[in-house]
Structure 1
Amino acid sequence: MVTPVIELSRIEKEYPGVKPLDKVDFAVRPGEIHALLGENGAGKSTLIRVMGGAIKPNGGNMTYLGKPVSWQSPKQARAAGIHVIHQELALFPELSVAENILVDAQPRNGLGLISGR
């Protein structure tokens, strides 16, 4: 079996009065595409935020490229190659899709200006 790119096992996240993630297992192998479906409050966004380093789980383990990880921030996850694209339809309507995806990591030229190339 192919090693998952990212694998979450027995992930738990609890807030006062609600537990959106209760021992969730999730893995993505090279070339796979997944859809997270569920009702409001089912924990979809919470799971994505755990994978992207925006929130810390209360329990469970995560591996990335076969190595245990515990992101300290979204910036750390992005540096490793995990990018979360949220479902907002038009973050910046004047920008292209690529520019919206790279909004916090625009390629820069020698002067520090955004490179159009």
Structure 2
Amino acid sequence: MNAIEILSKLESVDFTADQARAVTEIFEKHHAQLATRDDVKAVREDFKMIREDFKTMREDFKMMQENFKYLATKDELKATSDSLQVIIDSTVTKAKYDLVRWIVGAIIVNGLIATVLKFFA
């Protein structure tokens, strides 16, 4: 509708010329801000794309949630590290003890062999 049609329709229903002009000016001023069918269609398409994006994001978050199940926390890693350190320390201590025992045993055997050779040689 153009301004002349609006003016004539308003005047035909007993609007004064000033009232009709005022309403027409308001209509023209705000007419550009009204959404057209194409605008609504574009917004619907945008919302459709946004919904699809959210669906993809939800699926990604579910996958991340599944992956996080298998990750260890800092406390769990610290506990594992501490228990491994205890095992390593005990293994090293046992190895030191075994090494000292073998060295002492070898020295004693070496001394016995030397003594036996002295007496029988």
TM-score (norm 1): 0.18
- Tell me which protein shows more strand as a share of its residues: 1
Larger radius of gyration: 2
TM-score (norm 2): 0.18
- Tell me which protein shows more helix as a share of its residues: 2
